[in-house]
Amino acid sequence: MTEELRMDRRANLRAIWTFVKRDLKIWTYFKLNFLIDLAGIFSNLAIYAIIALVAGEIVKSFLKPYGGDYVSYVILGIIFNTILSTSLSAPYWGTMDAFWSGRLEILMVSPISTPLFITGTSIGRYVRTFISVLIYLIFGVLFFGLKVDATAGYGLAVLYILLAAVACTGLGLMGASLIYFIDARGGQDPVRWVVEILVGLASGVYYPLNILPEWMQWLGCLIPHTYALDAARRVILGGGIGVTTLPIHSLFGLNPLLTDMLLLVAFSVVTMPLGWWMYNQGVRKAKTDGRLSRWV
Amino acid sequence: MSESVIETFDLTKRFGAKPLEEWRGWTEQLTHLVRQKLRRKEGKEIIAVDHVNLKVKRGEFFGLLGPNGAGKTTLIKLLTCLLYPDEGTALVNGFDVRKQRDEVRASMNVIISGGWLGFNFFLTVQQNLEFFARLYGLPKQLAQERIEETLTVLDLKDQREEVPLYLSSGMRQKLLLGKAFLVKAPVLFLDEPTIGLDPRAAYNVRDFVKNKLNREYGITVFMSTHYMEEADLLCDRVAIMHEGRIVAVDIPDSLKLSVKKGDLLELKVTNMTPNLAERIKGLDGVDDVVAHIMDPVAGVGFLRVHTPNSREILAELTQLVEKEGAEIKFIRNVDPTLEDVFIEFTGKRLRE
């Protein structure tokens, strides 16, 4: 009369879909939150459109490799950073939400694997990000003058962003592992904190890096965001494909786009397995010292 | 029926300070060293589960009885792979908790105490059940059939569109039990399933687990509780756990019989003085006295007097109680309870 149920590939996919549906239902449960998120996107874009009005001409000369238009530059920067920020934070917040809501134990005693646990608890954030990105694009084109060129290399841009997302997921897993290693359960993980400071200061989300002193430009070269933003903007917005924009480009002597690609691959190859290994070690440690669960 | 579905072999879990050589990976060694540097010392070692050896038969309703802090929850966490043992191992449905964790998880269901853990609070009852069904890999059609069946059996049909946030604690606990009914895994671990429930809700939970899950579907139930009446009522066998160790295992009646060395008198007393139990203990023919004070202000409580022959001490006992200014409300011969068993084996009361 009893049964043992195993998770095959179809069951895993169904479980992931269930996580997506769950997160969307929770996101839209409080209708006001959803509307406030929409208003936040609109006001964020409006702020940068006003900055563009004031400072667009001043930074135009620095934006030549990216087509010269500040509004398009910054909207794409915000969109790409929204995606990469999700990759960076999803493993941490997925785990923390499960922990604080008391679902971590239920998930960890169920037959789902650790990769499915991470995917399931993170995927809702990606879906929300995807919807946000669409809204950014729609608002950007309709109200704020985001220039869309039908012949631009969107596929290549997506590839750059995907590679950076993999690298950021690896960094995110490293950060999430600190939940178990150093009890980083208070909403801040040191890895994400450091990366986000570098992103804000020196990755080129809001302004081109060539306006910064060289030592700060080198700081930007420590994170994958810089290469993804640089390359994806170039292929979408045109401008100088072969112009070096980062100090590291001169070191290799290759086409800057190729350099960006190689460095993103290198980041992904290093951070993803390392992040995965650290997360598993963290779970193992928490299951050894008894700090995994709120169930006592 | 005789096959073991849970078996532990010197299962041990320690918390707190450990010798460095016991930490396996280099990351753990590094973390341990850093912690030692930061904290100077790691505190006292606690052995939460101490070389536990148990066998639970397939289809059995097995109870783990002990006070808070006895190690019951830690033992369940070890058996459900939420904790890794320091020594020994265990088999759940024939799978090793150290080496075959995926198989162990596919073989069991866990209901955690309190009724607040595990829900998606902003999904409806039906959506929560769908979520549970998918976590356990139930195909869509089968999941829908099982959800309907679960809602009917648990009498939750009227609440299917409500979110757990607004359900009573009894209904939330029912919903959690629905997980065990959706997927009838061979083993069900229950940690204090009726804690915080009102008597009617607790009765419903016990009835569902015993009659539906255990008797009708043959699910082996491993339940921890500190309610002796619950263990006595439900369990085929009970293990008494104290300070991480199993001090006795048997069917409840045998356990109670094992501590019955003569007669047991129970007195309900008012105006009870703190030293009354000690004075009674001094009477000839009295082996032991256990006092349970219900209302310290009014001095209302129960005295359980162990004696080889109750008839021989009755007159002297009542005289002494009255002399001490207390009033006997009733006096009766009773059989030992699991509380008496616990006191016999540990020297302490369950609710101390």
Each residue of A51-95: pLDDT tens digit? 988 888 888 888 888 888 999 999 999 999 999 999 999 999 999
Q: Is the pLDDT of residue A187 over 90?
A: no
Q: What is the pLDDT of residue B18?
A: 56
Q: What is the pLDDT of residue B25?
A: 60
User: Confidence band (pLDDT; 50, 70, 90) for A30?
Assistant: confident
Cβ-defined contact of A22 to B15 (cutoff 8 Å): no
Distance CA B157, CA B155 (A): 6
* Record: fold of B261-334: Alpha-Beta Plaits (3.30.70)
Q: What residue segments make up the domains of chain B, in order of their start?
A: 4-256, 261-334
Least confidently predicted of A200-209, B10-19, B191-200: B10-19
For B136, the closest of A2, A111, A113 (CB atoms) is: A111
Looking at chain B, which residue has its C-alpha nearest residue A109? B105
Tens digits of per-residue pLDDT, B20-58?
Answer: 445 456 666 666 666 655 554 556 788 999 999 999 999
Cα B156 versus chain centre, distance: 26
Backbone angles phi, psi at B296, to 5 degrees: -65, -30
- Contact call for residues A214 and A249 (beta carbons, < 8 A): no
User: Confidence band (pLDDT; 50, 70, 90) for B114?
Assistant: low
Burial class (CB in 10 A: 0-12, 13-18, 19+), A174: buried
Q: What is the pLDDT of residue B1?
A: 45
Q: What is the pLDDT of residue B167?
A: 87
Pairs of residues, one from chain A and one from chain B, whose beta carbons lie less than 8 Å apart: 134
Tens digits of per-residue pLDDT, A139-159?
Answer: 999 999 888 787 778 999 999
Looking at chain B, which residue has its C-alpha nearest residue A27? B122
H/E element, A55: helix A31-59
Chain B hits for A22, CB-CB cut-off 8 Å, are 120, 123, 127, 131
> How near does any CA of chain B get to the CA of A144, in Å?
36
Distance CA A248, CA B306 (A): 87
How far is CA A260 from each of CA A171, A271, B33, rounded to the nearest angstrom? 18, 16, 39
Cβ-defined contact of A284 to B25 (cutoff 8 Å): yes
Cβ-defined contact of B102 to A113 (cutoff 8 Å): yes
Average pLDDT, chain A: 90
| pTM for this prediction | 0.85
Q: Under CATH, to which class is B4-256 assigned? A: alpha beta
Average pLDDT rounded to a whole number, residues B218-226: 94
A281: nearest Cα among A153, A168, A178: A178
